[in-house]
């Protein structure tokens, strides 16, 4: 449970900072695309993990 909370807190802290930098240098579209790529990677990892267990 502690690991989940740590990862959740890390995401709540880092993603707004990263996306803010992306928006300031490019546009909001690229920030959404960055988040979409992160979501696809995370869902692929969880699918592979769940399929193996």
Q: In which band, very low, low, confident or very high, does the pLDDT at 22 lie, cut at 50, 70 and 90?
A: very high
Compute the mean pLDDT over every residue in the chain, rounded to the nearest whole number.
93
pTM above 0.85, yes or no: no
Which two structure tokens, joined as six digits, stand for 29? 């579209």
- Cα torsion 48, 51, 52, 53: sign: positive
Q: In which band, very low, low, confident or very high, does the pLDDT at 1 lie, cut at 50, 70 and 90?
A: confident
3-state secondary structure of 46: helix
What's the rounded Cα separation, in Å, for the pair 14 and 18?
A: 6
pLDDT, residue 37, reads 97
């Amino acid at each position: 449970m502690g690991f989940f909370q740590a990862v959740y807190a890390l995401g709540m802290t880092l993603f707004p900072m990263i996306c803010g930098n992306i928006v300031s240098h490019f546009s909001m579209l690229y920030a959404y695309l960055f988040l979409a790529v992160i979501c696809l990677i995370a869902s692929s990892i969880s699918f592979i993990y769940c399929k193996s267990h």
